[in-house]
Every structure is written in structure tokens, then in C-alpha cells.
Amino acid sequence: MFAYYPIYRGYFRTSLMLMFQYRIAMLIWLLGGIIEPLMYLVIWRTVSLQQGGSVGSYSTNDFVVYFIAMMMVSHGTFTWIMWEYVYRIRMGQFSVMLLKPIHPIHSDIADNIGYKFLTLTVMGPTVLLLAWFFDASWQPAFWTLAAFVPVLILAFLMRFYWEWSLAMVAFWTLRIDAMNQAYIVVTLFFSGKLAPLTLFPEIVQRAADLLPFRWMLYFPVEVLLGRVTPRDLLIGLGAQLFWLLAGYLVMQLIYRAGIKRYAAFGA
């Protein structure tokens, strides 16, 4: 573990330098991450106000707080690897990565974390501004707030491994746009991005329990908002650990097969 420390430091340093180069592109990405949840926030707030101040178990304030929390969790866990992989295979950049004496996933993780830290400088004030503007009120319990940290880290890692695995489909076909799009739609429904999962029909909720997506986004949001019981928390942590382990194994498996395939058709 400690052996990786200087390598990660090197990656952070480089990725920060690169990001300073691409300030504008970075801001546009960031804007996307802010606008999407903000859009849902505004829509659901309007619906709630028109329905007399609540939809299902969610009050207008609950919606506001929910989508602001979703913005933070989404920002904390999102990756762009599924778009990048195709490019790196097509341009031969992957060969350069393969020659290095380290698994290529490490530079991606470091890149991602570097981006998150840098953009926190914009994300933080944005969240505060939105909370003030929509007059959000939020009273978390101390223990859920403490639990949020490991929950978010697990969510980040499991999402990273799964999306990194999915990105490797690029070893078999370079036309992965359709697949990416399908993934986004499925995530939108089952992760709680579109609406709190409890507002969905029972069957969608049960399906969401069995899929990884809710544990990537919805669950950390609920923990942050203090909408979980200790039992929920334990179940959620268990599910996260399970999906993280599964994601890790799937990643290893696909990576091995992918490398063989890459090596077979010519690097």
C-alpha cells in the first residue's frame, strides 16, 4: 500500500498540472455535473409545491436537500473512463501504459481524485449557494455524517471498478457509444438520480436493491441526509462491499481477457 504512495503523488502532481492546462474543459465538465441535478431539483420542487408541499413521503425541502446531496455524491463518484478508453486504444496510448511497471488503473484513479479535489473549490461554494438560495434545511445525525465518509469512499471505488470494467468493452469493439448511452439511462433510473427511489413503483425499488447502482448514489445520499437506520447502514455497507469485491474481480477478469485480445489483434 505504502509502496504506491510516491507513485500516486507523482500522478496527482501531473494530473493537476494537466487540469490547469484544460481549465475551460474542466469547468464545462463541472457545469454538467451541477446542471443535471439542479434541473431535477427545480422540476421536483415545482411539482411538490403544486401538490401542496409534498410528493409521497418527500416534502419540498426534502427534494431540495436530496438533489443537493445527490449533486455532491454524484460529483464524488463519477468517472469519465468509459469515454476515454476507446480513445486510448484507438490512438495506441494504451501500449504506452502497458509498458509501465504498474497497472493502468492507478493513474486513472489518481486522475479522478485529483480532479475531484480541484473542482471542490467550485463545487463547495456552489452547494452552499444553492442551499442558501433554496432555503434548504438539513439536520443530520452525527453518526450518519461520520458513516458518510466510508460510504462515499466505497461508492467511489465500486463505481470506479464497474465503470472501468465496462470501459474495457472497447477491447472488443470501438463502437461503445450506444452502450455508454444505455448505461447512463439505466443508472438514471436505478441510482436515484432522476428521483428518490422510494417514489418509484415497488417493483423498480426491488430491482434497484439487486443492482449496484443504488449503492453507488442513492445509498450515500440517504446516509448523508440521515434517512437511514443503523440496520439500513449495515445492509448498505454490506451491499457496497459485495459490489466492490465483485467489481474488482470482474475488472481483473476482463482486464486479463482484454489484454490478451489487445495483444492478439495488434497493439
Partner 1 sequence: MEQNPVIHIDRLTKVYTVNERDAGLIAAMRSLVKRKTRDVNAVDAISFSVAEGEIVGFLGPNGAGKTTTLKMLSGLLHPTGGRATVLGYRPWERNRDYLRRMTLVMGQRNQLLWDIPVVDTFELHRAVYRIPEAQYRPAVEELTELLELESLLQKPTRNLSLGERMKCEIATALLHRPSVLFLDEPTIGLDVTMQRRIRRFITDYNQRTGATVLLTSHYMADVEALCKRVIVIHHGKLLYDGELTGLADRVAPFKTVEVKLQNGLNDRPLAQYGELIAQSEGRITLRIPKDDTASVTGRLLAELDVADLTVQDPPIEDVIEHVFSQSPDPSVAPDSQHANGD
State the residues that interact with partner 1 by CB under 8 A: 3, 6-7, 9-11, 13-14, 17-18, 21-22, 92, 95-96, 98-102, 260, 263-267
Q: How far is the CB of 101 from partner 1 (least distance, A)?
A: 4
Q: How far is the CB of 210 from partner 1 (least distance, A)?
A: 35
Angle between helices 105-133 and 5-21 (to 10 degrees): 60
d(CA 38, CA 70): 10
d(CA 2, CA 238): 26
Query: What residues pair up with 59 in beta bridges, in sequence order?
Result: 54
Joined together, the cell numbers standing for residue 185 give: 439511462
Sequence-separated (6 or more) residues with CB below 8 Å from residue 102: 7
Q: How far is the CB of 90 from partner 1 (least distance, A)?
A: 13
Joined together, the cell numbers standing for residue 61 give: 425541502
Sequence-separated (6 or more) residues with CB below 8 Å from residue 194: 40, 188
Nearer residue to partner 1 within complex by CB, 201 or 266 = 266
Q: How far is the CB of 164 from partner 1 (least distance, A)?
A: 18
Q: How far is the CB of 263 from partner 1 (least distance, A)?
A: 4
Nearer residue to partner 1 within complex by CB, 91 or 186 = 91
What's 197's DSSP letter? Answer: G
The CA angle 74-26-166, to the nearest 5 degrees, is 50
Nearer residue to partner 1 within complex by CB, 172 or 189 = 172
Q: What's the burial of 171, exposed, middle or buried (CB within 10 Å: 0-12/13-18/19+)?
A: buried
Rounded alpha-carbon distances, angstroms, from residue 51 to 41, 99, 148, 196, 263: 15, 60, 32, 17, 59
Q: How far is the CB of 8 from partner 1 (least distance, A)?
A: 8
Q: How far is the CB of 120 from partner 1 (least distance, A)?
A: 22
Q: How far is the CB of 14 from partner 1 (least distance, A)?
A: 5
Nearer residue to partner 1 within complex by CB, 21 or 181 = 21
Nearer residue to partner 1 within complex by CB, 102 or 141 = 102
Nearer residue to partner 1 within complex by CB, 249 or 257 = 257
Q: Specify the DSSP element, H or E, that contains 17.
A: helix 5-21
Nearer residue to partner 1 within complex by CB, 93 or 137 = 93
For residues 108 and 82, the answer to whether their CB atoms sit within 8 Å is: no
How far separated are the first and last CA of the chain, in Å rounded? Answer: 30
Nearer residue to partner 1 within complex by CB, 206 or 256 = 256
For residues 124 and 35, the answer to whether their CB atoms sit within 8 Å is: no
